[in-house]
Amino acid sequence: MNPVLEAERAAMRGRLEPTDVRVDAPQLICLVGPNGSGKTSLLRAIAGLGEGRVRIDGEDPRGLPPDRRKRLLAYLPAGREAAWPLAARDVVSLGLPAGTPAEEADAALATLDLQAFAERRIDRLSTGERSRVLIARALAAKPRLLLLDEPTANLDPLWQLRLVRRIREAVDTGQTALVAIHDLDLAASWADRLLLMDGRRLVADGDPAAILDSAQLKSAFGVERAGGRWRELSRLADRRSSP
């Protein structure tokens, strides 16, 4: 069987050094790292917006027409804006291949409890509701690979948890999710695997609990966990604050 994802020398000029990522079977993978470490760039490069060789289920998404690509991968950027005020159902439909019955969009809305908003214009929703509509768009086509940039941003704690659970369910049904996230505890408690980025490079890849206690994580974030809480490393130890 083909690996779910094979990215070789995925790169974005000036933002991401050539990076390899391989996923053999469906997993929930969290991507953590300080601001500017290259998380967004890695997601973009895998989505086909950068350089390098990417294969999803053995297929090169760049060679595929939009309708097939939508079943292979979905990319949710960190910005939660829509340029035109479409109805929520129409926004979700944009993520589906042309001619897909409206029921599929409605089902995607329902997974995030948005049935009541189907006809509402997206500019008339709250920030959190709009975020959920845009996430529903990314989940709608049930693609093999979900690339989600900060999906929990703008969501209240309840919806953060519900969303992570939805992503978990998607992974349990055979999808793979690569999720950039800032909340280290949320990442550790839900992820099968953690990718840690620092200085435009992937610096650690593996078991979440091990990475959370690793020296790379301390060095990347300048924080450490002590007694179940995160605290800033002492100034002397914080190499990130020195030039």
Least distance to another protein, CB of residue 77, Å: 5
Taking the complex as a whole, how short is the minimal distance between the CB of residue 45 and another protein, in angstroms? 11
Task: Report DSSP state, residue 50.
Answer: S
Strand partners of residue 7: 21, 54
Phi, psi of 196 (to 5 degrees): -110, 125
CB of 215 to another protein, least distance (A): 34
Cα–Cα dist 15/40, whole Å: 9
Closer by beta carbon to another protein, 98 or else 116: 98
Task: By CB under 8 A, name the binding residues for another protein.
Answer: 44, 47-49, 61-62, 64-66, 69-70, 73-77, 79, 81-87, 90-91, 94, 98, 121, 123, 134, 137, 147
Nearer residue to another protein within complex by CB, 60 or 232? 60
* Closest C-alpha among 190, 71, 91, 178 to residue 134: 91
Q: Would you say 59 or 207 has its CB closer to another protein? A: 59
Task: Please provide residue 142's backbone torsions phi and psi, each rounded to the nearest 5 degrees.
Answer: 45, 55
Query: Shortest distance, CB of residue 4 to another protein, whole angstroms?
Result: 17
Among 47, 71, 66, 102, which Cα is nearest to 91's?
A: 102
Closer to another protein by CB, 64 or 125: give it.
64
